[in-house]
Chain A
Amino acid sequence: EAQVTQNPRYLITVTGKKLTVTCSQNMNHEYMSWYRQDPGLGLRQIYYSMNVEVTDKGDVPEGYKVSRKEKRNFPLILESPSPNQTSLYFCASSLFLTDTQYFGPGTRLTVL
């Protein structure tokens, strides 16, 4: 089954404790992206990757890091999480940008 998986689905952590949210797709997609969804703001892009070892900033990259060492994986790293990073995070992938983007189920992160 074609899918994008994210782990964990729910995470409660404390300020400053480094965390990683994993994202994996099994569709051999070139393009992957991370979004955050906040009330009244819709989905905002954090980082995207056009291919292995090619990443670039989206609209709200501050406080986040990503890596794309393998085509299927695109982890999101919060080196020192802060409460303003409490949000619902989605990973997405597509063959190309204007191809259908497939979204993962989301990761709800709470930073205390």
Chain B
Amino acid sequence: DQQVKQNSPSLSVQEGRISILNCDYTNSMFDYFLWYKKYPAEGPTFLISISSIKDKNEDGRFTVFLNKSAKHLSLHIVPSQPGDSAVYFCAASETGTASKLTFGTGTRLQVTL
């Protein structure tokens, strides 16, 4: 049972436009969410996170939005750049378990010129 879902396996966006990557979760106990970026032949690297006490977190061109009632989060990249082309994973965890992250299946973003 996939508790964290990324329903779009791929996304293509033009350079300079906004990229929106979506993530849904089913476990209401999740209260901390992260996005990781992965380039080919490399390990995932942390991008941005958000706690459930917030509904938005911003870091430069990257903003994560959390809608707890809908169990939905999204990552916005503005403006998109060719170097953003990668696979993006969302992940979630429960406070207090301090034991593991549950990852989504990933979305491959391609930023075209």
Q: Are B98 and A50 in contact (CB under 8 A)?
A: yes
Residue pair B100, A90 in contact (C-beta under 8 Å): no
Q: Tell me which of A11-19, A69-77, A102-110 binds B.
A: A102-110
In the complex, per-residue mask of B32-48: 1 if CB is within 8 Å of any chain A CB, else 0: 10001000011111100
A98-B43 contact given A42-B104, A43-B103, CB 8 Å threshold? no
Q: Determine whether the beta carbon of A42 is less than 8 Å from that of B89.
A: yes
Question: How far in angstroms is the closest Cβ of chain A from B58?
Answer: 17
Nearest CB of chain A from residue B36's CB, rounded to whole Å:
8
Contact A48 B99 (CB under 8 A): yes
B63 at the interface (CB under 8 A from A): no
Complex-state Cα separation, A68 to B98, whole angstroms? 18
Size of the chain A interface, CB-CB below 8 angstroms: 26
Enumerate chain A residues within 8 angstroms of B41, measured Cβ to Cβ.
105-106
Residues of chain A contacted by B4 (CB below 8 angstroms): 42
- Chain A residue nearest to B51 (CB atoms) is A98
Residue of A with least CB distance to B9: A40
Within 8 A of A (CB), among B61-113: 89, 91, 93, 95, 97-106
- Please indicate the chain B residues that have their CB under 8 angstroms from the CB of A100 in the complex: 46
Of chain B, the residue at the smallest CB distance from A100 is: B46
Please name all residues of chain A whose beta carbon is closer than 8 Å to the beta carbon of B100 when the two chains form the complex.
33, 45, 48, 58-59, 97
Whether B46 lies near A42 (C-beta < 8 A) is no
Q: Hey, which chain B residues are within 8 Å of A59, CB to CB?
A: 100, 102
Given contacts A43-B44, A98-B32, A106-B42, 11 further A-B contacts (CB under 8 A): A42-B105, A43-B89, A43-B103, A45-B100, A48-B99, A48-B100, A90-B43, A92-B43, A102-B43, A103-B43, A105-B41
Instruction: Using CB atoms and an 8 Å cutoff, list the residues of chain B in contact with chain A.
Output: 4, 6, 32, 36, 41-46, 49, 89, 91, 93, 95, 97-106
B-binding residues in A (CB < 8 A): 4, 33, 35, 40-45, 48, 50, 56, 58-59, 90, 92, 96-98, 100-106
